[in-house]
Amino acid sequence: MPKTSESKVILLNHIDPSHFARTGVGCLVLSHDGKIVLQQRDEDCQTFPGYLATFGGGIEENESPIQALVRELREELGADVKIRDVVSFGAIVEEERNYEALVYLYFWHDKSNTITGCYEGKAEYYNDVSEIEKHPKIMGDVRWLLQECKKRKLL
């Protein structure tokens, strides 16, 4: 049975990004045909090798979290993301990152089929959450987002 990691929700009105070593974004993506799309990190990746992760990355200087998300999904998937189509879930810290990185989390359904490929790691497509839960290495933000998306009936 895969290890369950612990994530902690951070209220957005209580966030001081300077208290964290790093800030980033992560997104659970639903393809145009209803498949859950996650990033399978390479085994030789410097951080979190072999983990199943969200698409996203670090927030650059003078960039808002939503701007970072749009940029990262364009860089990693070639996607054309419209902000109005993004669902925000707030931010968490997680065990895998020693609770030192603040990650803003999102859900995006690529209804217009704009994904052109996967340019970082490997895109894995899943029909349902039960398939994902069988993976031996799942990042905490993925587990948390899956639960929240199911609660909101996005999946």
CATH number of the domain to which 22 belongs = 3.90.79.10
Domain assignment present for 2 = no
Q: Give the tokens for residue 7.
A: 């994530």
The DSSP annotation for 96-134 comes to: GGTT-EEEEEEEEE-TT-------SSEEEEESSHHHHTT
Number of domains in the chain: 1
**Beta bridge pairs of residue 91:** 10, 104
For residue 2, the model assigns a pLDDT of 47
Segments of the chain with pLDDT less than 70? 1-14
pLDDT digits (tens, 9 = 90+) for 21-61: 889 999 999 999 999 999 999 999 888 999 999 999 999 99
Q: Quick check: is 38 in a domain?
A: yes
Q: 13: which strand partners?
A: none
Tokens (6 digits) for 20: 């964290």
pTM as predicted: 0.88
